[in-house]
Amino acid sequence: MQNFEQFLLDNLPKSKSIHPTYESSLQYMLLAGGKRFRPALLLGVVRAYNPLLLDSARHAALAVELLHTYSLIHDDLPAMDDSPLRRGRPTLHIAFDEVTAILAGDALNTYAFEVLSDAPFSDYTRVRLIRELASNGGLGGMVLGQAIDCYFENKPLNVEEIKFLHTNKTAKLVAASLKMGAIIVGHEELAETLYEFGVKLGLLFQIQDDILDVTQTSEEAGKLTNNDEDKNSFVTILGLEESMKQANDLADELTHEMSGFDENLQGELLSLLSKYINRHKN
């Protein structure tokens, strides 16, 4: 991911302004690092089928990371999770102020689509990618999940409702990253298969995050932990033992599905997921 990190640094959001902190607030959470997991998935699919398209694909990978980062900034706001720590740093509304955090999130959201609209693909491919990112990150995807999560705080949901919540809030953007990689390389028949795989992968990540929330310190996690008591997390509803079982079952299912992918894709995904797929056991 070193080339992606350099691409990100070369394309950080910039604005000539009289505002003393606006530009630095736009860059603050991007420069805090993170796993860059969603960009890595997209680029892994492209690398598996057409490495010559990697330079172009980094535009789409950056768009995904920008949208994801905006969602974290807003998720941490006092009106939502009211979290003081993210990626090992004070959250943006702590480091600056709440208004700045709201506006920086808004800016990164729209900048994601600006970057994607300028990506060196055909008009057809650009529109497909923009639609995929918007539909999974917007009103029928991540934003819907966030709305459900906030509305039902202190109102326990059942297991299927929790899965619906987190499919939208977390899993759809993971799934979209894989599907966008398939769209870029023109592998239409694989796109939906990877999307369904990505939904399961996103749900696994959410269950793992819920487990780590109660088993790690804030310092280890790089964000505030033990903060989900009022939320509809898997651990809150199912308990730690059943959540571990669900995570184990999903990890096994995903590992089995990966074995059915062709050799190049399997190699790319295995190298990326090997350190993540069983992280709840560490």
Task: Return the pLDDT at 228.
Answer: 64
Task: Return the pLDDT at 72.
Answer: 97
Task: Return the pLDDT at 15.
Answer: 87
Domain span at residue 78 reads 2-281
pLDDT of residue 223 exceeding 70, the answer is: no
pLDDT tens for 235-278 read 999 999 999 999 999 999 999 999 999 999 999 999 999 888 98
Scored b (16 or more CB within 10 A) or e, 55-91 reads eebbbbbbbbbbbbbbbbbbbbbeeebebbbbbebbb
Which range scores top for mean pLDDT: 220-224, 225-229, 269-273?
A: 269-273
Closest CA to 180 of 226, 237, 225, 127: 127
Least confident of 3-7, 45-49, 179-183, 275-279: 275-279
pLDDT of residue 221 exceeding 80, the answer is: no
* CA of residue 162 relative to chain centroid, distance: 18
Say which residues have a Cβ less than 8 Å from residue 260's Cβ, sequence separation at least 6. none
The arithmetic mean of pLDDT across residues 109-127, rounded, is: 97
* CB of 221 closer than 8 Å to CB of 194: no
Question: How many domains does the structure of the chain reveal?
Answer: 1
The arithmetic mean of pLDDT across residues 112-127, rounded, is: 97
The arithmetic mean of pLDDT across residues 146-157, rounded, is: 94
Q: pLDDT-derived band of residue 227, with 50, 70 and 90 as boundaries?
A: low
Burial of 183 (0-12, 13-18, 19+ CB in 10 A): buried
CATH number of the domain residue 203 falls in: 1.10.600.10
Quickly tell me which residue has 């989900």 as its tokens: 228
Distance, in Å, from the CA atom of 35 to the CA atom of 276, rounded to the nearest integer, reads: 10
Angle at 81 between CA 75 and CA 83, to 5 degrees: 95
Distance, in Å, from the CA atom of 230 to the CA atom of 202, rounded to the nearest integer, reads: 22
Task: Return the pLDDT at 225.
Answer: 65
